Chain A
Amino acid sequence: MRDVAIVAFAQTGHRRRTDELSEVDMLMPVLHQVLGETGLKARDIGFTCSGSSDYLAGRAFSFTMALDGVGAHPPISESHVEMDGAWALYEAWVKLQTGEADTALVYAYGKSSPGEVRDVLTRQLDPYYVAPLWPDSVALAALQAQALIDTGAADEAALAEVAARSRTDAAANPYAQLTGDVPAGDYLVRPLRTGDCPPVGDGAAAVVLAVGDTARALCARPAWIRGIDHRIEAHGLGVRDLTDSPSTRLAAERAGAFERPVDTAELHAPFTSQEVVLRTALGLGDEVSVNPSGGALAANPVMAAGLVRLGEAAARIHRGESDRALAHATSGPCLQQNLVAVLEGESAHA
């Protein structure tokens, strides 16, 4: 395997609404920032890959306009996943592994504000038997939360503590949408209160990947991707144990996450109860700093939030605040699909 690192990361300030910005407007500053940090131009990049969803944009082929923002002339080697940008990063990592490229630009964006994201996400359920019932994303997460509480692994107070810790940590994150003291709030869907749920918001993120010495030349302390893997589970909630996340555990195992302890974990857990499930699946103890950015409870730009986790973990390594970090992204209802990457600084175990 070639050594591949995240060498630059940028994100927007995540906001409740961005009515005055198109997706391209929202994305452009982030693209300029990551390229600026590395000194690379679009034409220098070996491979470009993005993640987004037409259903958020409300129109087909929405990503084609975003490409215009990249400046794809002369023509570029480029691809797109209709998934969270974390999977675009995975595709770019594979491309770098083939040896056909030495650098990659990865970006993702999502605007939830034009629609009702709870309703929109129901359209990703089984179209014949489930979607016609319109069970929304909070209701499904509430089923998962109740199942977790029923096992005795958590109670409502424990969930509220997750929310409080996340939003307190987010106070130090200038990009977070929701920070500071957040009351548990009223029930949104029992047992989840507003405090257990993510804010609805718009945002974008971008990273640059590079191999070997190219990475060292572009970044003082590259965040090396020591392993990355992703796994999917059955779609039907009735055939899954919602209190466990075997796909996260398997992806982590394949990514080498259990070979040595990590000091940081950025988990894509939009709901407090999902952080509990993920911590257990990953065997994370209290000594691990979980979601020091505030996580998806502080900012949840759909389709970019997973890539933001990889970026936040990498940025801590860049800054010397972490030596070995785990980053996680999720997709689908109740943690159906999960990606895990292990990132390390150069001298993590020299």
Chain B
Amino acid sequence: MPKEPVAVVGIGQTKHVSARHDVSIAGLVREAAVAALADAGLTWADIDAVVIGKAPDFFEGVMMPELYLADALGAVGKPMLRVHTAGSVGGSTALIAANLVAARVHRTVLTLAFEKQSESNAMWGLSLPIPFQQPLLAGAGGFFAPHVRAYMRRSGAPDTVGSLVAYKDRRNALKNPYAHIHDPGITLEKVQAAPMLWDPIRYSETCPSSDGACAMILTDRGGAARSPHPPAWVHGGAMRSEPTLFAGKDFVSPQAGKDCAADVYRQAGITDPRREIDAAEIYVPFSWYEPMWLENLGFADEGEGWKLTESGATELDGDLPVNPSGGVLSTNPIGASGMIRFAEAALQVRGRAGEHQVPGAAKALGHAYGGGAQFFSMWLVGSQPPAG
């Protein structure tokens, strides 16, 4: 029996900010969930199961917070799963929820991801030392900067590309009311003048630390038929993992990312992603990862990703808008960031992205990655149900 088609009928986000002092963790997640239910025209009683994800528990200092959040998310008496796949977790969480519907185990599932980074200190959370393992002493930026430098050497990209991405994403964020960083006075010169943090990554080219949550309601064909707003349909979804460190690992373009994209495109019948995909929400925590992932995802040939960025193709009015929402560079509640990518892709094909809507977007990619560029999760959503 073929899989049940999966539809996204509800999407909710909080306004993402540095610190939501006005709500508890429970209050934060409930805000996103209630918004998603409202969008879907459903109530808590319509939800069969809850799948929740977030990045490390040390970020809030709560072990397995899904236990305490069961009440706030209406999960009492229902199944509740808690996913943790590092930075890719928001995407993985959505895919696991989608599997529950695709397998016909449940009909309507609430999936949610969050991070309330102001409850603790993310840099501390990532720096707990244990014996005999390489510590990430300089945080995530220190880990990824050498790989960006390797990309620049390999591709011959001029050192101006990173600032173009940051300038674009931060301008896109001005059109997204939920985005964390809203800087109306932004100029390319300001981006370029920011201090260097981890050469070649400038402060202006890094993601913020945000509090925020994102929720989606996934349902089957019958549920989609009752949806008050157009659904987004899942045409393909996949996860791939590879080890953190091993001889032959390509940190510039990991094999797991390529394999994951290939699997998604195969499921969705995509043969030319550059032409067939109308918008992409790609996990870009440091600006240089836009050209790098454009290659890894097959939008550009190896060494050519930066040319796509430089040409303006990835601008909101370009022919392949990348991160019309403002992306991770503008909003980064870590555990939710992947799900926001998936949700923003769905908003685009539902035609409900507001000011940052890509006109006529019919197919969109949501992408997330995590760990030492080792965990990947992606989905491709469309405005029409999948064929078959």
**One of B32-40, B126-134, B171-179, B379-387 at the interface:** B126-134
| 15 residue pairs A–B, Cβ–Cβ below 8 Å | A22-B132, A54-B56, A58-B128, A64-B372, A65-B244, A72-B241, A77-B241, A82-B66, A97-B103, A97-B104, A98-B99, A100-B3, A124-B64, A127-B119, A232-B75
Please encode chain B, from 45 to 89, with 1 for each CB lying within 8 Å of some chain A CB and 0 for all others. 000000000011111111111111111000111111111111000
Say yes or no: B125 contacts A83, CB within 8 Å. no
Say yes or no: A78 contacts B239, CB within 8 Å. yes
**A293 within 8 Å of B (CB atoms):** no
Q: With A and B bound together, what is the CA distance between A201 and B66 in angstroms?
A: 24
Chain B residues closer than 8 Å to A243, beta-carbon distance:
none
Q: With A and B bound together, what is the CA distance between A350 and B24 in angstroms?
A: 54
**A68 within 8 Å of B (CB atoms):** yes
Chain B residues closer than 8 Å to A98, beta-carbon distance:
3, 99, 102-103
Chain B residues closer than 8 Å to A67, beta-carbon distance:
241, 243-244, 374
Chain A residues closer than 8 Å to B24, beta-carbon distance:
128
Q: With A and B bound together, what is the CA distance between A99 and B3 in angstroms?
A: 7
Secondary structure at the B interface, as helix, strand, loop or mixed, is loop
Say yes or no: A337 contacts B80, CB within 8 Å. yes
B100, closest chain A residue (CB): A94
Name A60's contact: one of B56, B78, B249 (CB within 8 Å).
B56
**B229 within 8 Å of A (CB atoms):** no
B243, closest chain A residue (CB): A68
**B302 within 8 Å of A (CB atoms):** no
Please encode chain B, from 261 to 296, with 1 for each CB lying within 8 Å of some chain A CB and 0 for all others. 000000000000000000000000000000000000
Say yes or no: A82 contacts B86, CB within 8 Å. no
**One of A6-14, A140-148, A233-241, A262-270 at the interface:** A233-241
* Least Cβ–Cβ distance between B162 and chain A, in angstroms: 26
**B346 within 8 Å of A (CB atoms):** no
Say yes or no: B81 contacts A336, CB within 8 Å. no
Say yes or no: B76 contacts A233, CB within 8 Å. yes
Chain B residues closer than 8 Å to A127, beta-carbon distance:
25, 60-62, 65, 68, 119
Say yes or no: A54 contacts B371, CB within 8 Å. no
Say yes or no: B105 contacts A97, CB within 8 Å. yes
**A139 within 8 Å of B (CB atoms):** no
In this complex, the member of A60, A68, A246 whose beta carbon has the largest number of chain B beta carbons within 10 angstroms is: A60
Beyond the given pairs A55-B57, A82-B57, A230-B79, 13 more chain A to chain B contacts, judged by CB atoms under 8 angstroms and listed by A's residue number, are: A54-B58, A73-B246, A75-B256, A80-B84, A82-B84, A97-B99, A120-B63, A126-B68, A127-B60, A235-B69, A235-B70, A250-B77, A332-B64
Q: With A and B bound together, what is the CA distance between A336 and B1 in angstroms?
A: 35
Say yes or no: A82 contacts B103, CB within 8 Å. no
Within 8 A of B (CB), among A58-92: 58-61, 63-65, 67-68, 71-83, 87, 90-91
Q: With A and B bound together, what is the CA distance between A235 and B79 in angstroms?
A: 14
Say yes or no: A54 contacts B71, CB within 8 Å. no
Chain B residues closer than 8 Å to A284, beta-carbon distance:
none
Q: With A and B bound together, what is the CA distance between A258 and B85 in angstroms?
A: 35
Within 8 A of A (CB), among B1-45: 1-3, 24-25
Say yes or no: B259 contacts A83, CB within 8 Å. no
A123, closest chain B residue (CB): B63
**B245 within 8 Å of A (CB atoms):** yes
Q: With A and B bound together, what is the CA distance between A97 and B129 in angstroms?
A: 40
Say yes or no: B96 contacts A94, CB within 8 Å. yes
**A231 within 8 Å of B (CB atoms):** yes
Name A232's contact: one of B70, B125, B130 (CB within 8 Å).
B70
